[in-house]
Amino acid sequence: MSETLAVAVPEARRWRRFTLAERMARFAVWLAVALAAVQSLRTMEVIPEFLYDAPAQMGDMLERMWPVDWAYLASGVWPALVETIHIASLGTLLSLLLAIPFGLLVAANLTPNGTVNLVARIVLVASRSVNSLVWALLFVAVFGPGALAGTFAIAFRSIGFVGKMMGETIEQMPRGPIEALQAAGASKASEIQYGYWPQLKPAFLSIVLLRWDINVRESAVLGLVGAGGVGMVLDSAMNLFQWQRVAAVLVAIFAIVIVTEIAVTQIRKRVL
């Protein structure tokens, strides 16, 4: 071997899980989160006496709820439960009337006009951002207390959900069948009916079922602001401090949510 050959000792190779840029970005996010948390904790008003009292208060409330007033279920709660289901179902159906056109308009591949997409998207975002309880407040102010306000509240809230999901489903559809129809000279209406709709159907049913499930849950509480359904029974029982009836209503709400979930699972199994 030549003596003049200097063999370089290789530097130990380093391994880093993330590049420098990635690490800084991740650190920035963690820092922001920590700051937000600390700031929130400091400025949030917590009255210590209430906090220490909490277990005793909860215990007291649970005691007053027992025994549950089961008789009330048949007399006061049942009609309100039925009304709740009607509100949820009608509200969901009503929302479809508006959600379908907006869902079609917000999909960029179906409606190429950018401005129309944007407007439709704004409408859908606005619908989703306002809580169904707040919609209920609004419609109670418009229509007066009762189930009409509740139905519209559910409907207007659901438009955003159904419309957005529809739009996303349409945008992710394979282009093939659509292009074939366009090449054959189909009108826009035919394109929708024969190209988009058949592919949309299974997803559509799934979306509607999901929203109906959520709506039953939501409808149960709308009565707290006067928009009909079993929430009104809950509200009056709480105002009168009739805790055993409150317990009965809570059980009823719990039961109806479970029944709805089972129904949706069964329908899903059979149809989808």
Contact 148, 88 (CB under 8 A): no
Integer Cα distance of 34 and 50 in angstroms: 26
10 versus 112: smaller Cβ distance to other proteins: 10
Contact between 106 and 165 under an 8 Å Cβ cutoff? The reply is no
Closer to other proteins by Cβ: residue 4 or 13: 13
- Which residues make Cβ contacts (< 8 Å) with residue 260, sequence separation at least 6? 212, 213, 216, 217
CB of 209 to other proteins, least distance (A): 13
For residue 22, count other CB atoms closer than 10 A to its CB.
Answer: 11
- Please give the distance of CA 100 from its chain centroid, rounded to a whole number: 18
Gap between the Cα atoms of 80 and 232, Å rounded = 8
Nearer to other proteins, 48 or 185 (CB): 48
Q: In terms of CB distance, is 148 or 173 closer to other proteins?
A: 148
Residue 240: count other Cβ atoms within 10 Å of its Cβ: 10
CB 132 within 8 A of CB 222: yes
CB of 215 to other proteins, least distance (A): 12
Q: How far is the CB of 66 from other proteins (least distance, A)?
A: 15
Collapsed DSSP state (helix, strand, coil) of residue 112 = coil
Distance (Å, rounded) from C-alpha 180 to C-alpha 171?
17
Distance between CA atoms of residues 89 and 86, nearest Å: 5
Number of helices (H) and strands (E) in the chain: give both, helices first.
12, 0
Q: Least Å distance between CB 169 and other proteins?
A: 18
Instruction: Work out how close the CB of 217 gets to other proteins at its nearest, in angstroms, rounded to a whole number.
Output: 6
Kindly state the smallest distance separating residue 94's Cβ from other proteins, in Å. Answer: 9
For other proteins, give the closer residue by CB, 55 or 112: 55
Q: How far apart (Å, rounded) are the C-alpha atoms in residues 219 and 227?
A: 9
Min separation Cβ 119 and other proteins, Å: 15
- Closest to other proteins by CB, 108 vs 133, is 133
**Smaller CB separation from other proteins, 73 or 130:** 130
